[in-house]
Amino acid sequence: MEIEDSHVEKFAAVCAEAILTYLDSGEPQWVTWDGYSHRFDFLSVELDPPVLPVVLSIEEGWDRIGDFGEITDPQHEHFDADALREAIQQLLTDEGVGERILKRFLAKLEKLEEELDEDEGPAGVAGPDED
């Protein structure tokens, strides 16, 4: 599948909101995507396991994805959530970081699908661990 600019833009917007939610709540967040649609979502890892595959976990060390040039500590007196949101989106869209993350995710998803296909064996034939 080809990663479209619109995929990266939507991913960047959802990822920025997940990061801001993590900074506000302190609860790690999962960013999810089915690998095909333009629908990205995020949810707390404290909730039930996600229905869709997890693209990215937002937790301690999240800022290793790049230099934002903005204050990331919500307790700092000059913290600006809107400026940080824009900086995150810019890093993920304009600098190619988001596209690399999504491509890596799709490669892992494809590998998992291949492994599942291998485990199933030929159609109608149980794999070695199945009865």
Q: Give the pLDDT score at 121.
A: 60
Contacts of 83 (CB under 8 A, 6+ apart): 70
Closest CA to 37 of 70, 84, 4, 75: 4
Q: Give the pLDDT score at 113.
A: 81
Mean pLDDT (the chain) is 88
Structure tokens at 129: 């661990």
pLDDT per 10-residue tile (average), the chain, 131 residues = 91 97 96 92 88 91 89 93 96 94 92 78 55 49
Rg value, the chain, Cα: 18
CB 15 within 8 A of CB 97: no
